[in-house]
Structure 1
Amino acid sequence: MSSPLSPSHDRRQYLIGLAIAISGAVLFSTKAIVAKLIYRYPVDAVTLIAFRMLFSLPIFALIALWQARQGPRLSNPDRWRLVALGLVGYYLSSFLDFMGLQYITAGLERLILFLTPSFVLLISAVFLKRKVRGIEWAALSLSYMGIVLVFVHDLKFGGEQVLFGSALVLGAALSYSLYLIQSGQLVMRLGSLRLVSYAMCVSSVACITQFFALRPASMLIQPAPVYWLSLINAIFCTVLPVFLTMFAVQRIGAATASQAGMVGPVSTLFLGAIFLGEAVTTWQLAGTVLVMAGMYLLSKK
C-alpha cells in the first residue's frame, strides 16, 4: 500500500490538478460560444455584459465579504487601486471583448486574447525596461505569425467587420495586460481570491450602471433562452473558471496551469464548429498551432 507521499500519490495529485486547469481553461473559453448564442437574440454588448454581471455579482460579493472578514482592512490607496484595476482589468476588458465578438468568430477572438502574455512582455519591455531575450522574441514571432494567418483568412470573408472586431478584442487583451502588470503588488498583499472578488465587484457595478445609463429598463425583459444562457455565462464561464484556475495553481503551480490553459483556443475552435457552425479550416488550424507554440515557449521561459 502506497504512503501519502509516494510517487503514485504525487502523480495522482498532479493529474487531478492538470484536469482542473484544463477544465477551467475550456469553461473560460466557452464564454465566446455562449456570447455568440446570446447575440442571436435582440441583445447587444451592453445588455449581455449587464446580465453576465447581474448573475455573477451575488457570488463575488459573498466571497468579497468573507475575504474582508479574513484579512486586514484595506488602506485608502489600496481601495483606489482596486477600483482602477476592476475598471481596467474586468469592466473595460470584458466590454471590449464582448463588443468585438459581435463582428469576429469565436476562434479568432480566443486567439487574440491568448496573446495577453506577449502583450505583458512587450509593455514591460517598453515601459519597465525589461530585457527581452532571444527565445522570447522567437515566441512572439511565432504567435503573431499565427494571428496573421487566421486574421487574413477571416478578413477575406468578413471584411471591415473583422478588422473592427479584431481591434476591439485587441483592446481587451491590452486592457487585461495592464491589469496583470499593475496587480502584482496587490496580489502579494491581499491574495488572489480577495483581489479577484473585489475587482469583479467593482466591474459588476460598472457594467450594471452602464446598462441603466445607456439602455431602457425594458431591455431587461428578454426571451427565456437569454436568461439561461446569461446564467451559464456568469456561473460556468466566469465564476467557476476563476476558482478552478486558482485550485489548479495551488496543486500544480502557476507555470503548469498556464501551459494547460493552451487547450483554450483549440476547444473554442471546435466548440465554435459544433455549436455555431463556424468553419475549421487548414489556415485556422495552422494559425492556432503557431500561436500555441509561441505561447508555450513564452510560458516555459
Structure 2
Amino acid sequence: MRFHNKTVVVTGAASGIGRATAILFAAEGAKVYAADIDEAGLAATAAESNGEVHTVRCDVTVCEDIKALMDRAAAETGGIDAVFNNAGAGGDMAKIDEIEPEGWDRTMHLLLRSVAFGIRYAVPHMIGRAGAAIVNTSSVAAVGPGYSPNAYAVAKAGVLHLTKTSAADLARHQIRVNAVQPGFINTNIFTTSLDVPPELEAQAKGAIAMMSQAAQPVARGGQPRDIAEAVLYLCSEAASFVNGTSIIVDGGLTIGPRHSWDPEVPDLFEALRQMKAAAEAAG
C-alpha cells in the first residue's frame, strides 16, 4: 500500500472529488481525516470506505476551523504526511460588471484563502516528514474564460500561482506542493451552484455527463475517481520529482478548438479548400 500508516487530510470530503479521494487514500492504507461542513455526507464517506477515516466538521472559510483540523490530525497521529486542499463550490455566479463585494470576497475566502491557510496550518505538522506533499484543487477555469463564472475562475487561477509560490517557500522543508485541474467532473458542484432541486439532481447530473462527454476528445464523462487517482499520484513516492506544477485532468477539454480533434468539424482552412476546388472545377 502506497500510504500505509500515513496521515492524510482531505477537505471537501463529504461528496464528489473529496469523497473519492478520501476513500482511495484509506484503501491505500492512510489514516484519513475527512473534513467538510456536511456531517451527513462525511458519515456516508466513512461508511463507504473500507479503511481508516476520521470525520471532522470543518468550515474552510473559518481559519480557526482549518487550524483545529490540522492540529487534531497531528495530535492524534503524530504529524501530517499529505494534505488535499479541495473544499469548494461554484462561488458567486455574477459577471464582473454585476458582482457585489460580498459575493467576490465570499468566493475568494472559500476557494483561495482556504487553500492558503490549509497550507499555513498544515506545514508545522509536516516538517521533517519524509515525502510530505500538498495538493490543491484548481480547475481548467484557471486556463481561461468560458469554463466557469468570473470569480471562480480568478480564484482557481490564484490557486495555481499560490501552488507555485508555496512550493518555493516550502522547498527548504522538503515539502512538495502541486495542484490538480479538473475538467467537467460529474459532481454536485454544478447542481449546487444552480440551486437544482434535490428531486431533479440525478437527472441534471445525467445531462451534465452527456454534455461533457460530447465536449472533449475522451468521449465519456469525467468522474471523481479520475481526479482522486491524480491526487494520490502527486502525493506518492512516484511523484517525488514533481513540484510546483499542476496536472490537468479534463479528458482533453483544453487541448485546442474542436476542429483540432473532431474530424466531423471542418478546420479553419476547409472553406478555402472548398473554394479553391470549386474554382478549379469551374475552370
What TM-score does the superposition give when structure 1 sets the normalisation length? 0.29
Identify, as 1 or 2, the structure richer in strand. 2
Of the two structures, which has the highest relative contact order with CA contacts closer than 8 Å and spacing of 6 or more?
A: 1
What TM-score does the superposition give when structure 2 sets the normalisation length? 0.31
Identify, as 1 or 2, the structure richer in helix. 1
